[in-house]
């Protein structure tokens, strides 16, 4: 989740048009489109396999201090607590942040090619593994913590998480699971115009369950099979329905920036950030804030930074800010991290591929899209769709993505194009066996129903 740094106050919002213009300012010509990848890892004690608290000489803070000392990262603080890291001014590398339960996230730099994304991922993982080894800390890439109970997981000292943890149980049964027990891979991609945004949003919303199926890696809860391919995705089905889901309005006539703004205005707020503090206004209306009627802020108008903060608290399957954020994938192994941006870059960054993808999904009904979203977390690639299955759809979509990546012609030093990063997904779709299927087979086989083996064999 986003990390806010205190700075100069941004401009006050005067009209709804200001909100629309803020999003529209994200438009970029194709030559400036970039790929921004985010990936989360569960952090665990390599000796006890327990979650790692923030404090102590071998805790999360110590891990971040070691990254500062060894690799020159710069601390971002709330009060005395280090809650994120950034690279020194002018250096590439993105930011490192903490999710509520200590999940360690790299929010990567916007990069031009997937080859750069792979290099960035490799560098990040080598760094955290190096400092983690000295602290007896390991990192696990799956979508839902396979062993820990909710009450075992410490909350990181990031003030916005206190607001969310208080509010989440009032609007759904799985919000705390989402915060503390899930991990994901995400990718942020650009758009050229309002029309381009709408087409990409519609295609990526419709195909998000296909990505969920391909990346499914969360079949365990508290040490036992949970009956799901992606428990992470299942958790989102009952996590504050007003700010999650498939955005059916995006497929209606008249969809554009203004319609998304209206949707965002109707999603209740979490907080207002002032002077380094997150002030709890959970459930309040941004519309009231704009009218100067927000309780505790009477007569005060929101700023553009308030609007940007509010947009980070919306969690649909695809989120619009000044870019589009793909949110459907479980966390995964080293090699699958770059596969997620490869999948979406191939589909959305090539005109022919995008046209093929739109042709595939354009006649899917709202009911069919929602059925995929609800069905895939449980049955993955075997989920039925019309006369076929999600596996068949996945094979088709991967062919489209491969075409798009070939058309991009981005070649590395080994004369390879970006299609090399689709290999893990093509293997999964080709044999119909997800990571969850593999884990379940090993759990009932050589692991002899002992979930502890996952921390040995699937750790980075």
CATH of the domain at 61: 3.30.590.20
pLDDT at 121 over 90: yes
Residue 267 placed within a domain:
yes
How many domains, in total, are found in the chain? 1
**Whole-angstrom Cα distance, residue 95 to residue 63?**
15
Confidence of residue 3 (pLDDT cuts 50, 70, 90): low
Residue 385 placed within a domain:
yes
Residue 235 placed within a domain:
yes
Average pLDDT over residues 97-115: 98
Average pLDDT over residues 14-19: 96
The answer to whether 257 touches 273, Cβ cutoff 8 Å, is no
Least confident range of 5-14, 39-48, 128-137: 5-14
Residue 343 placed within a domain:
yes
Average pLDDT over residues 307-311: 97
Structural domain boundaries, residue 54? 16-457
pLDDT at 234 over 70: yes
pLDDT at 7: 63
Average pLDDT over residues 434-450: 98
Rounding to the nearest 10 degrees, give the CA dihedral for residues 273, 279, 284, 289: -50
Confidence of residue 1 (pLDDT cuts 50, 70, 90): low
Tokens of 40: 């989360």
pLDDT at 355 over 80: yes
User: pLDDT averaged over the chain?
Assistant: 97
**Whole-angstrom Cα distance, residue 136 to residue 413?**
36
Residue 389 placed within a domain:
yes
Residue 340 placed within a domain:
yes
pTM greater than 0.85 (yes/no): yes
The answer to whether 325 touches 372, Cβ cutoff 8 Å, is no
Could you tell me which residues are beta bridge partners of residue 325? 188, 319
pLDDT at 4: 60
Phi, psi torsion values for 276, nearest 5 degrees = 80, 5
How many other β-carbons are positioned within 10 Å of the β-carbon of residue 371?
16
């Amino acid at each position: 989740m986003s990390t806010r740094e205190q700075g100069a106050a941004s401009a006050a919002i005067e009209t709804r048009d200001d909100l629309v213009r803020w999003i529209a300012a994200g438009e970029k010509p194709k030559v400036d489109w970039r790929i921004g990848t985010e990936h989360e890892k569960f952090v665990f004690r390599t000796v006890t396999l327990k979650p790692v608290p923030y404090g102590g000489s071998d805790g999360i803070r110590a891990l971040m201090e070691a990254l500062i000392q060894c690799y020159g990262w710069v601390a971002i603080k709330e009060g005395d607590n280090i809650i994120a890291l950034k690279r020194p001014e002018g250096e590439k590398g993105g930011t490192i942040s903490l999710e509520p339960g200590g999940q360690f996230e790299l929010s990567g730099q916007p990069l031009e090619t997937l080859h750069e994304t792979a290099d960035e991922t490799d560098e990040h993982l080598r760094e955290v593994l190096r400092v983690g080894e000295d602290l007896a800390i390991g990192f696990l890439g799956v979508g839902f913590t396979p062993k820990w109970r909710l009450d075992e997981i410490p909350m990181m000292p990031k003030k916005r998480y206190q607001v969310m943890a208080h509010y989440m149980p009032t609007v759904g049964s799985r919000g705390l699971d989402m915060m503390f027990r899930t991990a994901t891979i995400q990718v942020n991609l650009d758009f050229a115009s309002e029309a381009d945004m709408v087409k990409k949003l519609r295609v990526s919303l419709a195909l998000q369950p296909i990505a969920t199926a391909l990346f499914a890696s969360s079949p365990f809860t508290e040490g036992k099979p949970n009956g799901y391919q992606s428990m992470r995705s299942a958790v989102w089905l009952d996590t504050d329905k007003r700010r999650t889901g498939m955005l059916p309005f995006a497929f209606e006539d008249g969809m554009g920036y203004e319609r998304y703004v209206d949707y965002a205005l109707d999603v209740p707020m979490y907080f207002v950030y002032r002077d380094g503090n997150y002030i709890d206004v959970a459930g309040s209306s941004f519309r009231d804030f704009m009218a100067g009627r927000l309780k505790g802020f009477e007569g005060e108008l929101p700023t553009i930074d308030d609007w940007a903060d509010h947009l980070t608290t919306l969690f649909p399957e695809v989120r619009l800010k000044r870019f589009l954020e793909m949110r459907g994938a479980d966390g995964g192994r080293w090699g699958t991290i770059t596969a997620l941006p490869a999948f979406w870059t191939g589909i959305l960054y090539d005109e022919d591929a995008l046209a093929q993808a739109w042709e595939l999904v354009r006649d899917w009904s709202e009911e069919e899209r929602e059925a995929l979203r609800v069905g895939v977390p449980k049955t993955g690639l075997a989920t039925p769709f019309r006369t076929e299955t999600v596996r068949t759809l996945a094979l088709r979509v991967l062919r489209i993505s491969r075409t798009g990546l070939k058309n991009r012609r981005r070649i590395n030093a080994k004369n390879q194009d970006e299609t090399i990063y689709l290999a893990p997904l093509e293997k999964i779709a080709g044999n119909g066996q997800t990571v969850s299927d593999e884990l379940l087979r090993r759990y009932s086989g050589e692991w002899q129903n002992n979930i502890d083996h996952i921390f040995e064999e699937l750790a980075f």
